[in-house]
Structure 1
C-alpha cells in the first residue's frame, strides 16, 4: 500500500510542477496546437496553445512508479511492466502524430493507416507478451487470460491464442481512439480518465485483498499482480490530476495524441490484465458514448446520402461534446456535465463490481 500512495503522490507532484516547465519550453520552441477549421469557431482562439503535454503525464507516471518501487524496495512485476510498455508505446505513436502536426503546421498528423500500423504493432506485441508462458507466475498464471471476462473470467469460454491477441488488439485500438475522440475540450478527457484510473486503483487493491494467492475461496480473484497494477493506476491517476491543473479551462497546454492515445491504451491494458474487460464499458461509459456518436453520425450520413443523394446528420457535429457546444452550451458547462456523467459511470461500475463479490460470498 505504501507503493500505491507513493506512486500516486510522486506522479501528482512531478506532473504538477513538470507541466509548468513544459508549457514554458514548448512555447519557446513553437510547439503550438493546430485547430480544425470546421470545428466550433470558439476554438480558433486556442490556436498556438502548447501541445504534446502527454509527455509530462507519461514521464510523471513512469518516474513515480519506479521511484515508489525503489523506496519500498520491491521489484516490478511482469504485469506492471507490460502495462507501462503499452502506455509508453502508444504514447510514442501519439508523439509522432503530434510532432508531424507541429512540423507541417496542420491539424492532421499521421495518416490513419500509418497510425493504425503503429497502434497494431504496440497492441499485438503487448498481447503476445501478456499471454506468454514465460511471464507466468509460480502458479502458471500469465498476465492476460485466454478467457473473456466481465468482473472475472468466463471459464466456459477458452479461446485460441490467435483470437485472444486479435481481441486484445481491437480493445486497445478502440479504447485509445475513444479517449482520443473525447479529447476535444479543455480538461475533458484527462479529467474523465483520472476518475476511471482512480476506480481501477480501488479495483486492483480489492482484488489484491481478495486474491486467490492470499485467501483462496469461491469469490477470490485470479489476477497475476493486482497490487502492482494498483501502483501504476495510482501513478497515472496522480499524473492526470497534476496535468489537469494546467489543462482545465482555459487550458495553458493540451496533452495531444501523445496523452490521449496512451491513456486510452492504459485503460484497455488495465481491463485486460485485471480480467474486467467488459466492466470497462461501464466505467468508461463516457468514452463509449462519444465514440458511438461518431459511428452513428457517419453511418447515418452515408446511408441517407446513398438513399436520397443528400447526406443527413443526427448531431450538429461530432464527437458528442461538440454537438452540445453547437447548440449553445458553454465549453465549461459541457466539461463539468460530462465529468458528472463519468462519475456516475464509475460509481455504477464499482457498484456492479462489489455487488458481484457480495452475491458470490
Structure 2
C-alpha cells in the first residue's frame, strides 16, 4: 500500500513510535459529514493501530480495517476496547486488491495514508466501485505547504489534492487542525479527454523528402542555392501528415501534382545537435512538368539517372541521400549514420 515496505511500518510500530492521534476537529467533521446509517459499513484503509476504526465502530459502523503492516494489525486487534464491531486484516490495497473485502461500503476512509499510495488513480477507481449509492469516501491528509520539509513524503501538495477531488459530484475540503479533510461523494461518470501540455520548446525538425521519377526512371533533383543537390520536399506544417507534406511541397516547389504517393520509411538523424526526422515518400503517379516555383531556394530542377548519383561532382543533401538509399538500397556508399524505420 505504501512507498515503504510493510517491514518498515512494522519497525515503526514495534519501536514504540505512534501516529498522530485522532483530533476533535476530525471527530466533529466525521460526525457531520459521515454519520453511520442503520447497518452502515465502513472500510478504513491504512488503519495503523486502529484508533479511527474503533471511533467509527463506536459511532455505529461495522468496520473492515486493513493495513499492510502485520504488526500494526496485530496491535490494533489486541486493543482492549475492541468489541467485535471491527474486523482487522493484513491487506496491501495496491498489490492484494479488494477481493476479500465486503461488496459495498457506506464510508471508506484514508487517514494519513493516501500520500503513500503509488497507483492512486487505479486504487481510487476500484474504491469508487465499492461505494454504496450516497456513500462517502474521506481522505484525511497532511498538506505539503504546512508540513516540515523532512516529512513532505507524508503529505499532499495542492495539485495532488485537486487531482484527488476530480471526478466527484461532491468534493468538499475542510480544515481539521491543519489536516485537509476531503469529503468525496457521487462519482461522476466520465469519458477520457485529450489535452496538450505547456507550449514545448523547439526540439526537432520534421519533414519529407520526395522521390519522383519520369517515365524513363530518372529521379528529379534540384540544384539548391545552398550549394547541394536535393530532392523535392520540406518541413511539415502544423497538423500535417508526412505524405500530405510531400504532396504539398512537390507542387509548391516544382508544379508537379501527385495523384498517388506512399510513405516508405521514417529516417532519424541529427543536424547541429538537433534531432531530424525525414519521411521517405515515393510519388507513384503525377501530372505536369517540373518548373522552378521557388527561385529563392532552387536554381533549377533536373532529371538524373539514379546510377549517376554515386558520382555527382557536387554534394548531395544528406536527408535526400538517405531517402534515395531507401528507394535504391546500396546505390550510395559512405552515407552518414541514420536510424531507419521502414513502413510496411
TM range (shorter): under 0.3
Q: TM-score, normalised by structure 1?
A: 0.21
Whose strand fraction is larger, Structure 1's or Structure 2's?
2
TM-score (norm 2): 0.22
